Structure 1
């Protein structure tokens, strides 16, 4: 990136295009641990399919963020919140089955006629 935009190290500022790409890369690195944790937790405790879809949407949004403006960043934040919600719900359902001996997943499936 530095050579492409003729920015000499250790400087981290330059043309607007460089600043946007540099900030997008830094932002991506800052959110990566949260994304990976939410993705794995959601995949293990909730649903692999839903987690995979959210993960792909998040990565697509990040790619668009590198090319575009801030709109894809807000989309990625919403997908990340969905992953965190799925993770929390999955952990809650697993703990309720393990510690309370209540299978809420089975109860919900029976109530909705999905059995």
Structure 2
């Protein structure tokens, strides 16, 4: 692995560890509320923990994909920062949802904004790379020249 992707790998590992933590919380909740697999129905407190973990797991592949595409094609530093913000927002989401359904909303919106930002970075990074590689047009260099920054 090149040194260029160490930050992305670290954020990915942190995200995986967060997913493991969420899964362990479901196991503990199953024991606490006596809800045996494969059942997903139980007391509301169990169901909130179960749904929070399931929701976080559903978005995790999307997060990892856009984190890496954004980091490779746009900016590793900005992607890592966004990744850390996303992981923190998802932790707050899990904790908030575990307490009450309404407790998930603010962190949900925060994590969605960060995810959309990463998606935007992906699109921009791929577009800039496409123009540079296939059209031999460096849009950043052209923009800097037009603004007199070169």
SS in 1 for 2:53: helix
| Counterpart residue number, 1:103 | 138
Q: CA separation of 1:114/1:64 partners in 2, compared to 1, >3 Å: closer, same or farther?
A: farther
Check if 1:91 corresponds to 2:89: no
Alpha carbon RMSD of aligned pairs, Å? 1.4
Alignment of 1:1-115 (within 5 A): 1=26, 2-68=30-96, 69=103, 70-112=105-147, 114-115=149-150
Structure 2 distance, partners of 1:112, 1:42, is 25
Distance in 1 of aligned mates of 2:85 and 2:114: 7
> 1:114 and 1:54, CA in 2 relative to 1: closer, same or farther beyond 3 A?
farther
- Between Structure 1 and Structure 2, the one with more helix by share is 2
Give the unaligned 5+ runs of structure 1: none
How far off is 1:114 after superposition? 4.7
CA distance in 1, matches of 2:64, 2:52: 18
Partners of 1:49 and 1:100 in 2: how far apart?
26
Residue 14 (structure 1) shift: 1.5
Alignment length (residue pairs)? 115
* Other structure's SS at 2:112 match: helix
CA distances 1:41-87 after superposition (whole Å, capped 9, x unpaired): 00000001110011001000000011112221111111101000000
Residues 28 and 114 from structure 1, CA distance in 2 versus in 1: closer, same or farther, beyond 3 angstroms? farther
